[in-house]
Amino acid sequence: MLHSRSTVLCHPCDSPPSELASRLSCLSVRRTDIDRNWGQEGQEGQEAQEGQEETQGFGNIQPFQPFLPFLPFQPFQPFLPLLPEEGKIARMSVAAAAIRAPSGGNAQPWHIEARGGSVSVRLAPEHSTTMDVGYRASAVAVGAATFNARVAAAAHGLIGKVDFQPGDEASPLSAIVHLSSGDDAELSPLYEAMLGRETNRRRGDRAPIPGQTLELLDSAARNEGARLHILSDPADVEMAATILAAADRIRYLTPRLHAEMFEELRLPGDPSPDTGIDIRSLELGPAHLVMLDILRRSEVMADLAQWNAGTALGDDTYGRVAASSAVGVISVRGQSLSDYARGGSAVESVWIRAQQHGLAVQPVSPAFLYAHDEKDLGELSPTFAGHLGDLQYNFRKLANTDAGESQVLVLRFTRAPRPSVPSRRRGLHRVSSPPG
């Protein structure tokens, strides 16, 4: 049962929402990786062929070509300086990895520059939406991009040291990945898995996750300075499903959130195919696709809002979350954009390793996720701010998130076949690479 904030306070961490304010030795392989990402604007997505073996989702070029040889890495020779050409390829490979990061609505809210001994990822506020309260979702995406950059650096015998810097209105957060020679035995083996990370929205099976896998995911989050709270008890998963479904209902019923949700979707032939979410990746059956056409209509949503109706609007989210093996909530201590970015690195590390262990992963972002206070909730949904606050309160309680922590992302884990289509990206040609 869900509780209103005013009626339930029984755990020491409980707090009402207002307090929440409070080298590259293998050039042929690396060139291949870069080429995969050198997308061209306007290219159409590639649909995975039936029976296709473990294809990797490489954005807007080709699906993974299993016949391309993957040569074994040779250990990096620190006493051999990188030739200028090698250095450039390493940098571009690091940038190519960064652009594969996940982002809310696949907005790719970053500007990436590869220059000298570093690659910078700057938060691009022009890609923000209402749900991206205070650019916190964008900061999560920037943090995930730096994790990918570090993994690619490690695969090239380089260490990527990340420096998050707060900025101004024009660029509220910058992450500079400083590249220097060195080994990172933890990160380099993640390279292929990092390139293959993907959002899987298939419903999937609720197969139990082995304790060893859960421990590994837990330490992946901790190593990045975050915390992973796993909900695997069926009653907890069901409660999470109830809360997340109710938050999605509010997303449908709030005109601005509703409009932005549909603006993210891309039909085949869409004039903006390099960003957004391909409708095929929603993995909906024919009946649900018809339903989506009705859900798109703002006048229908306005009527439902007026009647305070539309409980069925959260049904799809409820069904998917309730059918999951587990729900993971990643949180960090602190509330700054750098804290959210650190959390984004943890999200990416957990996500890559979960997939390596056979799990399908889908984030499920409730509208309240990045709200810190009542003002944020009011800006998200003037009509349903109070209800969103209650939902946030209950979800934080369920996930044992204390008042000093910020929830960074909610992931549902399941066992499922690969997604129908790879996600899209703006190509590597958009990375600026001044000489030097």
Ligand X SMILES: Cc1cc2nc3c(=O)[nH]c(=O)nc-3n(C[C@H](O)[C@H](O)[C@H](O)COP(=O)(O)O)c2cc1C
Distances (CA, A) of 193 to 45, 190, 378, 429: 21, 5, 40, 23
15 lies in the site for ligand X, by CB under 6 A: no
365 lies in the site for ligand X, by CB under 6 A: yes
Six token digits for residue 90: 């390493």
- Helical (H) or strand (E) element with 327: strand 326-333
273-302 binders of ligand X (CB under 6 A): 277
Under a CB-based contact definition with an 8 Å cutoff, are residues 348 and 149 in contact? no
Q: How far is the CB of 77 from ligand X (least distance, A)?
A: 34
The site that binds ligand X (CB under 6 A) totals a number of residues, namely 19
Determine the Cα–Cα distance for residues 12 and 400; give it in Å rounded to an integer: 10
Among 103, 349, 401, 407, binds ligand X (CB under 6 A): 103
Distances (CA, A) of 206 to 202, 318, 326, 417: 12, 14, 8, 13
Among 39, 63, 102, 273, binds ligand X (CB under 6 A): 102
Among 152, 179, 198, 416, binds ligand X (CB under 6 A): 198
110-169 binders of ligand X (CB under 6 A): 137, 140-141
Side-chain-side CA neighbours of residue 240 (13 Å):
30
Among 254, 362, 401, 414, binds ligand X (CB under 6 A): 362
Q: In the complex with ligand X, which residue's Cβ is closer, 352 or 385?
A: 352
Q: How far is the CB of 408 from ligand X (least distance, A)?
A: 8
Under a CB-based contact definition with an 8 Å cutoff, are residues 24 and 75 in contact? no
Q: In the complex with ligand X, which residue's Cβ is closer, 91 or 201?
A: 201
Under a CB-based contact definition with an 8 Å cutoff, are residues 91 and 114 in contact? yes
361 lies in the site for ligand X, by CB under 6 A: no
Span from 169-177, 196-204, 253-261, 299-307 in contact with ligand X (CB under 6 A): 196-204
364 lies in the site for ligand X, by CB under 6 A: yes
Among 201, 251, 387, 418, binds ligand X (CB under 6 A): 201
Q: In the complex with ligand X, which residue's Cβ is closer, 118 or 324?
A: 324
Among 363, 367, 390, 398, binds ligand X (CB under 6 A): 363
SS3 287: helix
Report the relative pairing of strands 110-115 and 118-123 from DSSP bridges: antiparallel
Q: In the complex with ligand X, which residue's Cβ is closer, 120 or 423?
A: 423
Span from 2-10, 38-46, 100-108, 115-123 in contact with ligand X (CB under 6 A): 100-108
Under a CB-based contact definition with an 8 Å cutoff, are residues 348 and 219 in contact? no
Contact characters 44-83, ligand X, x per CB under 6 A: -------------x--------------------------
Determine the Cα–Cα distance for residues 171 and 135; give it in Å rounded to an integer: 10
423 lies in the site for ligand X, by CB under 6 A: yes
Q: How far is the CB of 127 from ligand X (least distance, A)?
A: 12
266 lies in the site for ligand X, by CB under 6 A: no
Under a CB-based contact definition with an 8 Å cutoff, are residues 397 and 12 in contact? no
Among 175, 321, 409, 416, binds ligand X (CB under 6 A): 409
254 lies in the site for ligand X, by CB under 6 A: no
- The residue nearest ligand X at its CB is 102
204 lies in the site for ligand X, by CB under 6 A: no
- Give CA 156 to chain center in angstroms: 24
Among 106, 188, 345, 394, binds ligand X (CB under 6 A): 106
Under a CB-based contact definition with an 8 Å cutoff, are residues 104 and 141 in contact? yes
Q: How far is the CB of 6 from ligand X (least distance, A)?
A: 28
Span from 12-20, 26-34, 85-93, 358-366 in contact with ligand X (CB under 6 A): 358-366
* SS3 readout for 111-144: EEEEECCEEEEEECHHHCCCCCHHHHHHHHHHHH
Q: How many C-beta neighbours within 10 Å does residue 249 have?
A: 25
Q: In the complex with ligand X, which residue's Cβ is closer, 398 or 409?
A: 409
Under a CB-based contact definition with an 8 Å cutoff, are residues 26 and 75 in contact? no
Torsion of CA 279, 97, 92, 430, to 10 degrees: 30
Torsion of CA 111, 105, 273, 53, to 10 degrees: 100
Q: How far is the CB of 80 from ligand X (least distance, A)?
A: 35
Determine the Cα–Cα distance for residues 119 and 432; give it in Å rounded to an integer: 10
Q: In the complex with ligand X, which residue's Cβ is closer, 160 or 363?
A: 363
Interface ranges with ligand X (CB under 6 A): 57, 102-106, 137, 140-141, 198-199, 201, 277, 362-365, 409, 423
